Structure 1
Amino acid sequence: MAKQAAKSVEDRHYDVVLAPHITEKTTLLSEHNAVVFKVATSATKPEIKAAVEALFSVTVTGVNTMLVKGKTKKWKGKDYTRSDMKKAIVTLAAGQTIDVTTGI
């Protein structure tokens, strides 16, 4: 039973951190030991910190989050709304890095 509970905690880490968010701005943040991830909208800062530390074996010094509202766009003359997403800027301890191009 305890093994099953531990398994669900590991699975939760993958449910919290969805994907790296790679743009020009986030690439510039990597110079300051920061990595940006798309995370679950229900994820809290302590959950994000625990998930990143467990998945990538690094020490996290700070987590900043932001909720990005989906834009309204048009496609073939009809309006649609992109889905909302939550981003987390994770600051790492000095000397540590995460290579987001390799995947989890």
Structure 2
Amino acid sequence: MSVIIKPIVTEKLTKDGEVFNRFGFIVEKTANKVQIKKAVEAAFGITVVAVRTMNYRADRSVKYTKSGLISGKTNAYKKAVVQVKEGESIDFYTNI
């Protein structure tokens, strides 16, 4: 099973990619920084300088509607922000 689930493409991370060479990924909850670094280097053929990880919890919400209470939640996930070596880049928009 792969450590990297999918890349995160937002305005903020796109700007970080252009300015600071940082790229975001949603990764497995059990993956550590060393595993994330090896997976990104193997998948994209680049050199990783730093890895920062964040765990996001599931947000629960309750909505009051005509038909009664509706409860829901968002999924919990782990996000990794990877900084690559100066001069290297990852292009998410081309199919290789």
TM norm structure 1: 0.79
- State whether structure 2 residue 49 is matched by structure 1 residue 61: yes
Structure 1 residues without counterparts, runs of 5 or longer:
1-11
Identity %: 35
Aligned-residue RMSD, C-alpha: 1.7
Alpha-carbon offset, residue 74 of structure 1: 4.8
SS of alignment partner, residue 55 of structure 1: helix
Higher Rg: 2
Whole-Å Cα distance in 1 between the matches of residues 12 and 58 of structure 2?
19
Tell me the amino acid that sits aligned with residue 86 of structure 1: K
**Alpha-carbon displacement from aligned partner over 1:35-72 (angstroms, at most 9, x marks no partner):** 00000000000000000000000000000000011222
SS of alignment partner, residue 19 of structure 1: strand
Judging by fraction of residues, say which structure has more helix. 1
**For 2:25, which of 28, 34, 37 is the aligned residue?**
37
Q: How many residues align?
A: 91
Structure 2 residues without counterparts, runs of 5 or longer:
none
SS of alignment partner, residue 15 of structure 2: helix
Which aligned runs of 4 or more in structure 1 are off by greater than 3 angstroms?
A: 73-77
- State whether structure 2 residue 72 is matched by structure 1 residue 80: yes
